[in-house]
Amino acid sequence: MNYKEAYTHWLESPALSAEEKAELTAIQGDEKEIESRFFSQLEFGTAGLRGTMGVGLYRMNVHVIRHATQAFAEVILAEGPEAAARGVAVCYDCRNNSALFAREAACVMAGNGIPVRLFESLRPTPELSFAIREYHCIAGINITASHNPKVYNGYKVYWEDGAQLPPKHADEVSAKMQVLDVFNCVKTADYDKAVAEGAITIMGEETDEKFLAKALEQVNDKAAVEAVADTFKMVYTPFHGTGHKLIPEALRRLGMKHVICVPEQMVIDGNFPTVVSPNPENPEGFYLAVDIAKREGADFILGSDPDADRVGLMVKGKDGEYKVLTGNQTGVLLLDYLIGAKNRTGKMPKNPVALKSLVSTEMARKVAEENGLACYDTFTGFKFLAQKKDQLEESGEGNVIMSFEESYGYMLGSFVRDKDAVTAAVAMTEMAAWYYGKGMTLADALDALYEKYGTYQEKTMNLVMPGLDGLKKMAKLMVDLRNDPPKTVGGTAVTQWKDYKDGSVVDVATGAKSTMELSGSNVLRYELADGSSVIVRPSGTEPKVKVYIMTNGESKDVCAEKVARYAAWAEGLKN
């Protein structure tokens, strides 16, 4: 049906509440708004669903949640009765409607005869990944929109390994959503009855304890923290989200005596009243933490995003001001620290490996290889990092000590298969304490790494293209770049065109073609004559095209000049 028919179908459905019908009635006659809500379903991908909340087919609401869960339940049931009997774990974050959406998802799974383990209250995303593995569930559902603005919510799905849903199963769910009626297909159970009968089991502190124990097993040098605990201070903020409980507790168990939490941001609130965006990538969100850090003389600031899977740092410079570290800088610092700590304490495994996404800094490869580690790239997304980790370790080719993405995601250990701010917060605090014991801040440590390995600088640009027109512009941009790839970027010659859709590599000078290991993703990469790389890919969760600029050179000024030129070229892609 077209968007007008879909609008009428919803407006006339008895499944809608009076309030929901009023919301749809209020847009009668507004063709653009009706089209934006009903032109299509939200696309179900390997990351599930994500969108703005509201009534409509292209919005996040209880009906879309039930519809997606019914489709997911049918995919699980197709795996057979033994698989379905293993059940599904369900988790949710601090966002408006997250608790409601999680309960609705649990009731649909129970209504399909699939047992559910539902967290009693909001929990970090990595704890869901852990719970799936710990309780041998067949799958998991997480209601979260991560660091998106408050108007968003999302529905993330996981498979039995604790990683996000493989493409095969995601395609199956998507196909079922295309044929199942959004209202009439749903089988659901009464929540209280399902709990009373054991179809829905509530998880709480017992799972927290198991998860924290695993996180603390990743500590390499607790003595480094204990040696400075009396004077070493840090500030922590959960940005109103799910890290509020477990991260301070994990740091206390690490041996920290002075973890100063930002009181206003310890309040759980899906409206995120103290920040424009609850994203640790944005320096402006840390203003309350900076005030406290200056007043208390803290060494560094740590912030986790609302679902506590990503973590960002601010570090004190020589001028006493606090500066945000990029995800790349933090990743390189942590990798170098872990190599040193594991070597010092005898915990380095045989055939050690570092993993990163292909859009993350090449400095990580330099750090790894100069210290005898292999370093592999994967596509963006921790499901790909998790797959590579499993492949390497199951084959005996390598043991992964750390996986990371430039977007502030880090995975340590083998008990989760997703980025994990809780465990990363422990590792980063241990690292900061170790440097503090040597009279160094993390800013000093980063400068030392640049001296040792060379200077690198990266920039991630978001070319925002909102609305239905934006989706069309994003698709056209990628088509145009494939049809007419650039021979220069910002005045520098392009030496290679790499297309990760088909795995092709073209030598620009000769036209010679070859292939690379990675293929199957809508990503373009340009290798430049000065050793820089520029990568272009549409976001899978937001209406924007992302451009990643990666440079290196003999100084920060040289790198900054390159970044500025390539960023100006990227800006021109919006036109």
Looking at residue 289, its pLDDT comes to 98
| E-strand stretches of 292-394 | 300-304, 311-316, 322-324, 352-357, 374-378
Strands of the sheet with 300-304, listed across from one edge: 259-261, 234-237, 300-304, 311-316, 322-324
Looking at residue 575, its pLDDT comes to 76
Looking at residue 363, its pLDDT comes to 97
| HSE (side-chain half, CA atoms, 13 Å) at 506 | 16
Looking at residue 42, its pLDDT comes to 94
266's tokens: 């310890």
The SS3 of residue 342 is helix
555's tokens: 């100084």
Looking at residue 521, its pLDDT comes to 92
CB 250 within 8 A of CB 425: yes
Looking at residue 45, its pLDDT comes to 82
Pick left, alpha or beta for residue 34 (phi over 0 → left; psi -120 to 50 → alpha; otherwise beta).
Answer: alpha
Nearest partner of 385 among 361, 416, 363, 362, judged by Cα: 416
Looking at residue 200, its pLDDT comes to 98
Domains (range + CATH), the chain: 40-203 (3.40.120.10), 212-453 (3.40.120.10), 455-574 (3.30.310.50)
Residues designated as active site: 146
CA distances to 99, 114, 545 from 180, rounded to whole Å, are: 25, 19, 31
DSSP conformation class of 187: -
End-to-end alpha carbon distance in the chain: 33
Please give the helix or strand (H or E) that residue 565 lies within, else none: helix 556-571
- Burial pattern 182-211, b for ≥16 Cβ within 10 A else e, equals beeebbbbebeebbeeebbeebeeebbebb
Cα angle 380-237-249, degrees, rounded to a multiple of 5: 95
Tens place of pLDDT per residue across the chain (575 aa):
899 999 999 999 999 999 999 999 999 999 999 999 999 999 998 789 999 999 999 999 999 999 999 999 999 999 999 999 999 999 999 999 999 999 999 999 999 999 999 999 999 999 999 999 999 999 999 999 988 899 999 999 999 999 999 889 999 999 999 999 999 999 999 999 999 999 999 999 999 999 999 999 999 999 999 999 999 999 999 999 999 999 999 999 999 999 999 999 999 999 999 998 899 988 999 999 999 999 999 999 999 999 999 999 999 999 999 999 999 999 999 999 999 999 999 999 999 999 999 999 999 999 999 999 999 999 998 999 999 999 999 999 999 999 999 999 999 999 999 999 999 999 999 999 999 999 999 999 999 999 999 999 999 999 999 877 888 899 999 999 999 999 999 999 999 999 999 999 999 999 999 999 899 999 999 999 999 999 999 987 678 999 999 999 999 999 999 999 999 999 999 87
* Spatial distance between the Cα atoms of 133 and 159, rounded to a whole number of angstroms: 9
